[in-house]
Amino acid sequence: MLQTIEVEIDATGHIHPLEPVQSIPPGRALLTLLRPPVDEALQLAEAALAEDWLKPEEEEAWAHLQLDR
């Protein structure tokens, strides 16, 4: 039977279960690395801000900071 447990991996590579587990039997396992959590508010704001960022007047306003112009 497959069992999944959530763990944290410290800077030295040691694995620490996030919830108490009775025991982890010796053997083999697969480890799936997850991306760090992303602030949901930032994700939601990005699409709304992109509309303004991509306007021609915004490009003009920031053109003096671009090296290729």
pLDDT higher than threshold 90 for residue 3:
no
pLDDT higher than threshold 80 for residue 8:
yes
Q: What is the DSSP letter of 8?
A: E
pLDDT higher than threshold 90 for residue 12:
yes
Summarised one tens digit per residue, pLDDT across range 15-42 is: 888 998 888 788 888 888 888 777 778 8
Cα 46 to chain center, whole Å?
15
Q: Domain ranges for the chain, please list them.
A: 7-65
pLDDT higher than threshold 70 for residue 69:
no
- Distance CA(54)–CA(1), nearest Å, equals 52
